[in-house]
Structure 1
Amino acid sequence: MRVLMVEDEKYMAEAIEQVLKKNNYSVDLAFDGEYGLDCGLSGIYDIIILDIMLPKIDGISVLKELRRNYIETPVILLTAKGETEDKVKGLDSGADDYLPKPFHTDELMARLRALGRRKNELINDNILQYGDIELNQLTLNLNCRNKEFKLTLKECQLLEILIKRKGMIISKNFIIEKLWGYETDAEDNHVEVYISFLRKKLNSIKSTVSIQTVRGAGYVLKMPKDGEFYV
C-alpha cells in the first residue's frame, strides 16, 4: 500500500515514515501543502495522511482541492487535540477519518488498516485499465487481449502514474520524485530506460496504447483515437 504523508514537522514525519516502512508500506513525504497537493493530484496513493496546519497551503484547502479534482483517495486528517471545529471542517470537506495530535503509532496503524479494508471493499482498485490494456497492481501483470506480461515493480509504478494521469504530460522530474523519492541519485536516463522497457512490453503484447515523448516536457500515454501524437 502506498501512503502520502503531508506534515511539516519533519522529525515526526520521518519517524512515522520509518514505522510505516517496517510494516511494509511504501511512503512519500511532503513538508508543505503546496507540494502535498501536487503529490496528491497524481492519484497514485492508496491513503493520504494530511496535517491541517501546513505552510503555503493549509490542509483543509489541500483536501478541498483534491476532492474538486475527483481524487477519491482516502484521507486521514491530523488535527489539534480538542479542536472540534477542525474535525467538523475536515469531515465536511471530504476527509475519511481524523486523528488528534499527539497520537500513538498503533492507533495510526489501526486506522490505516481500516481504511485499506474499506477501500478494497468498494471496487477492485488494484486493476487499472486504459485502452486495450489492464494493469494488476498486486500481481504486476500487464494484460492485453489475453496476452500477459509480468512487469518489474518500477515498471508497474511508472505505468500506474501514466494511466492515472492519462492524457497529461508528465515530466521526468515528477517521475523521478515518485519512483525514487526526494533524495535520490536517479537522473533522466533512469526514466528513459524504464520508459524504453515499458514501450517494448506494450509492443510485445501488441497493444495500441503508446507512450509518446513530448520534447522538452516529458511523456504522455496515448491511444490512436486520441488523434494527437508526439515524437
Structure 2
Amino acid sequence: MKVFLLEDDPETAAFIERGLTERGHVVEVEADGSVALRRLAERDFDVLVLDRMVPGVDGLAVLKAIRAQGRTTPVLLLTAMSQIADRVDGLEEGADDYLVKPFAFVELAARVAALGRRPPTGEFDAVLRVADIEMNLLRREVRRGGRSVDLQPREFTLLEQLMRNPGRIVTRTMLLEKVWNFGFDPKTNIVETHMSRLRSKLNEGFERSAIRTVRGSGYMMNDDA
C-alpha cells in the first residue's frame, strides 16, 4: 500500500516511515504542506497521514484542498491538537480518522491498514437512486428531479448513508460512526446541523421533504419524495 506522510518532526517522521515500511507499505514523507499539495497533485496514494501543524500550508488546509478537488483518498489526521472541537473540525473537513499525539505506533498502523482496506469507490454501485434523487459516487454528484444539488463532502457522505438504507431508519449513532468515525457521542449537535443544511439544499424548489425525521429514532429517506 502506498502511504503519504506529512510530518515536520524528523524523529516522528522517521519512526512512522520505518514502522510502516517494515509492515510492507511504501511510504513517502514530506515536511512542508505547500510541497505536499504539489506532490499529491502529481501522484495517487492509498492512504494519507497528515499532521495538522506543519510549515507552509497546514495539514487541515491540505485536506480541504484535496476534498475540494473531489478526491476521496482516505485521510488520517495525526496531531497534538486533542480538543473535541479540533477533532470535529478535522472530521467535518473530510478526514476519515483522527489520531492524537502522543500515540502508540501499533494503533496508527492498525488505523492506516483499516483505511487501506476500504474498497475503492469503483467497487460500489456507481449510482444510488432513491425516489427522484440520484447520487453518482464516481463523479461525486447529486441530482434531485434532474436538478444539480451542490453538497459539501460531509453532506455528501451523510446523504450517501441515508441512500444506502432506503426505507430503513438510520440512527444518530450510526451516522456519528459512519460519517464522522466517532465511536462515542461527542455531545454536539453536529448531526442535526449537517442534516438541516442537507435538507435545505435537497428540498429547495420541492414541496416534499427528501428526508424524514423519525422522532426518538433517527432519519430515513422518503422513498416517494
Q: TM-score, normalised by structure 2?
A: 0.52
Does the CA contact (< 8 Å) of 1:60 and 1:90 recur in 2? yes
Partner of 1:123: 122
Between the aligned residues of both structures, percent identity stands at: 42
Q: Which runs of 4+ in 1 moved over 4 A?
A: none
Secondary structure, aligned partner of 2:39: helix
The alpha carbon displacement at 1:107 in A equals 0.1
The alpha carbon displacement at 1:117 in A equals 1.6
The alpha carbon displacement at 1:70 in A equals 1.7
Secondary structure, aligned partner of 2:115: helix
Aligned pair count reads 124
Partner of 1:31: 31
Partner of 1:11: 11
When residues 67 and 43 of structure 1 are mapped into structure 2, their CA distance, relative to the original with a 3 A threshold, is farther
Q: Deviations over 1:45-74 (max 9, x none)?
A: 000000010111111111101111122110
Superposed, which structure 2 residues align to 1:1-231 within 5 Å?
Answer: 1-80=1-80, 82-118=82-118, 120=119, 122-124=121-123
Partner of 2:193: none
The alpha carbon displacement at 1:20 in A equals 0.7
CA RMSD of aligned residues (A): 1.7
Q: Deviations over 1:8-66 (max 9, x none)?
A: 00111011101111100000000011111112223410000000101111111111011
The alpha carbon displacement at 1:81 in A equals 5.2
Which consecutive unaligned segments of at least 5 residues does structure 2 have?
125-225
Q: Deviations over 1:130-187 (max 9, x none)?
A: xxxxxxxxxxxxxxxxxxxxxxxxxxxxxxxxxxxxxxxxxxxxxxxxxxxxxxxxxx
Q: Which moved more, 1:64-73 or 1:34-43?
A: 34-43
Secondary structure, aligned partner of 2:49: strand
The alpha carbon displacement at 1:113 in A equals 1.5
Q: TM-score, normalised by structure 1?
A: 0.51
The CA distance in 2 between the partners of 1:124 and 1:10, in whole Å, is: 37
Does the CA contact (< 8 Å) of 1:77 and 1:95 recur in 2? yes
Which consecutive unaligned segments of at least 5 residues does structure 1 have?
126-231
